[in-house]
Structure 1
Amino acid sequence: MFERQMHFIETGCVCINKTGEPICGDFFRLFENKDKKVFVLSDGLGSGVKANILSTLTATILGTMLSHDIPLDECVGTVAASLPICRTRKLAYSTFTVLQLERNVAHLVQYDNPSAIVMRNGKRLVYETQVRFVGEKEIHESSVPLQENDILVLMTDGVTNAGIGKLAENGWGTNDLAEFLERLEANELSAPRIAARIADGCKVLSENSLDDDTSVLVVKIRSRQVVNMMVGPPENKNEDDSIMNLFFSKNGIRVVCGGSTAHAVSKYMNKPLRMLSDSSGGNVPYMSQMDGVDYVTEGILTLKKVLELCTAYLEDPMILLDLCRETDAASQLAVLLIERATDINIYFGMAANVSHEGTEIDFDTKLALIKQLEACLNRLQKQIKISFC
């Protein structure tokens, strides 16, 4: 079992439009209420705008009502009564998978989507399912007590049908997908990476031409990972040692951003800085290396690029697969913040930087950048704390 305060519920979700469609007919949303998290993944009838309306309504109604502890029968009935009728098919239809996390237990409610996969210790976990009818809908319900590093994979049938008539005669069934996850050693990967790898597999099997909207949601119960970032030296130089003492007393991964900050840390630690010649890319300056610090980077240019990459990831989670192959400082920091970090403490130094005099990079610019990065990381469900010094 896991303790909520000691663990992090990490999520990765990829939704890809059917080839040729401007909008995805699948929809995912997370709802939170006190100690309860409700994930809903829905697939609307058909594709395009009509399907998107159906799936959005379904996920929103179900998630809102379930997060307020309204009985499932009433929730499903409300969905059935609320969906607009398709003029062509004379149907109001949307499949769904609901995952409720509460008191260290996963409650699954599944209707016409492929069965969710649960992975434990690198292997597929077989869980019991009860079947009952709500109106005319056959609902599958399960309760699974969770452990650290358990992985839950929810998907629409765009995943299981991937490759039919192309590279997979019978599609990518849940058994095949589970075997893929076992070979992938998914227990060693983050939820965002697993979701991206599954979606990439669907594209490969479909020869990059998806015949249906394709969505996968991965939830992983993992230990927390603190990242401590020092950005700029303290305003009062007399406080350098006290801030350094505080920074290095904290457990977690240590990141130092900025040339003047790195030299101040080097002096405090009495450790030399060594440039990493293979860490430059594009307009991002080289990284450095110092004993006792995990990442040493340039400041404002690198962080600006990190913000761009994290924002791009929110728009297209598939770029994570490309970021993982890059060696420049911004890509490495972006992967650290997206994949590994759960709690991020930023020590923001307010000292003026003489090297920035006469340029557009002033204190307000740096502060605005840090606030934008904070907002972006909040969207990534990270816990952020900024300390001004």
Structure 2
Amino acid sequence: MATAAAKRQEAPAGAVKLDVGFAVLAKHGEDLPGDSVEVVREGSSLIVALADGLGSGVKANILSGLTAKLSVGMLRYKCGLDEVVDCLARTLPVCEVRKIAYSTFSVLQASESGEAYLAEYDNPPAFFGKGRELLPLDRSKRTVSGRTISEARFNLEPDSWVVMVSDGVIHAGLGNVWNLGWSWERVGQYLSRTVPAFATAQEAADDLAEVTRRLYQGKPGDDAAVVVIKSRQPRFLTMMVGLPKKRENDAQVVRYLMESPGKKVVCGGSTSQVVARELGRELTVNLASMKKGVPPTGFIDGIDLVAEGTLTLEKTLSYLKQGLPRSEFVYQADGASRLTSILLESDDILILLGSAINPAHQSPDLPVTLQLKPKMIEEISKILESLGKKVTVVRV
């Protein structure tokens, strides 16, 4: 546990967490969207590309997908932007009829130190803000392989955000709600009100995509893509699952749980009783939170969630496998939904996995899942890591 604690305290001063979410809408009548988004994380670095293919349908999907993948892939392997644009210029020629590129793009490179670089080619300018204020970016333009590229270098601080969109968002509502479409200015005003209010970037991206769809009256007249990057302080979670192998370690583990930064979760009936005992606090049960297949939650002052162990973890794993957004769980009262919501909003997750054997789970008549708590924790960890979260499991 000491090693895990040390690693959590090594984050450099001023470091931020880069939370990314995106959504893509296909033009009405098309099976595939003509816009594409690619996201790559490597350590503390992030590369995001949004590409808009000319036209719509399969051809546009292929062109935008190729543009996004090439951009992210080359930048990932330390190629300069000039090389990327030159490669795209030679790979994706200009349309002979319309005299415009087969795909436009926006690329953001950022690190958790706060440094950010934005390059744009023929896409709507990205939105940048902090809190509820929309801020201007100091952009410069230069020509690369016959393409005019807009560039900006800036710093991301806690509560900063960047939103990249394709022109399908800007033109939403054209001829219906708005004569000339939603417009860049109106979109910016909307984002300055809503992005800071959402707990995650994905919720903000889903919201903007849904408003865009509604402005098209449910039948998008163009493909539309949205990428939201929120910069904030890392969110920590420490989760105690089961009891330590040695009873004499109960106090040490509970003390570590309480001294850890961020939210605290306790899973397991016996575990909850021991935590309450060590803290000298009352443990109460909320029967109103019970849901079919999920036992009720409890309450201990100072703990964000007190839940049953195996059945709650099994349901939580099922929810995570479905890939549903956090918004599906945030207002639910049952233990599995609350645990799923907390896991999805957290960035740095430490799981204190108890090694004590629960005699109640050793019966051969019980379902196999009740005997495989460590296996469920392993699967939950893998899913969370695939979502860009740092997960550390410590056996106690």
Give the structure 2 partner of residue 137 of structure 1. 147
SS of the aligned residue for 1:370 comes to: helix
Q: Using a 3 Å threshold, how does the CA distance of structure 1 residues 325 and 241 change in structure 2: closer, same or farther? A: closer
Aligned partner of 2:110 among 101, 113, 120: 101
Map of 1:50 onto structure 2: 59
Whole-Å separation in 2 of the counterparts to 1:169 and 1:307: 47
1:33/1:68 contact within 8 Å kept? no
Aligned-residue sequence identity (percent) comes to 33
**Structure 2 residue aligned with 1:128:** 138
Identify which range, 96-105 or 27-36, moves more after superposition.
Answer: 27-36
TM-score (norm 2): 0.87
Moved more, 227-236 or 101-110: 101-110
Aligned length: 383
Correspondences of 1:39-118 after superposition (within 5 Å): 39-83=48-92, 93-102=102-111, 104-118=114-128
- Bigger Cα displacement from structure 2, 109-118 vs 348-357: 348-357
Corresponding position of 1:354? 359
Partner residue of 1:325? 331
State yes or no: 1:379 paired with 2:386. Answer: yes
CA shift at 1:298, angstroms?
A: 1.5
C-alpha spacing 1:233/1:38, structure 2 compared with 1 (3 Å)? same
Cα deviation 1:23-80 (Å, max 9, x = unaligned): 3332222234565432111122233332222122111211122233323222111112
Residue aligned with 1:28, SS: strand
Q: TM-score, normalised by structure 1?
A: 0.89
The Cα shift of 1:252 comes to 2.1
* Residue 319 (structure 2) pairs with residue 309 (structure 1): yes
Q: CA deviation at 1:11?
A: 1.2
> For residue 385 of structure 2, what is the amino acid of its counterpart?
N
Match of 1:345 in 2: 350
8 Å contact kept, 2:320–2:340? yes
Q: Is the CA contact 2:351–2:394 (under 8 Å) kept in the aligned structure 1?
A: yes
Q: Which stretch shows the higher mean deviation, 158-167 or 109-118?
A: 158-167
Q: What is aligned with 2:4?
A: none
RMSD, aligned α-carbons:
2.7
Letter of the aligned partner of 2:247 in structure 1? K
Paired residue for 2:374?
367
Q: Which whole-Å CA distance do the structure 1 matches of 2:153 and 2:317 have between them?
A: 39
Q: What displacement does 1:231 show?
A: 1.0
Runs of 4+ in 1 over 6 A off after TM superposition: 84-92
Alignment of 1:147-162 (within 5 A): 147-162=157-172
Choose 13-22 or 366-375, whichever is displaced more.
Answer: 13-22
Which range moved further: 161-170 or 342-351?
Answer: 161-170
Q: Which amino acid aligns with 2:395?
A: F
**Aligned: 1:251 with 2:261:** yes
Structure 2 residue runs of 5 or longer lacking an equivalent are 1-10
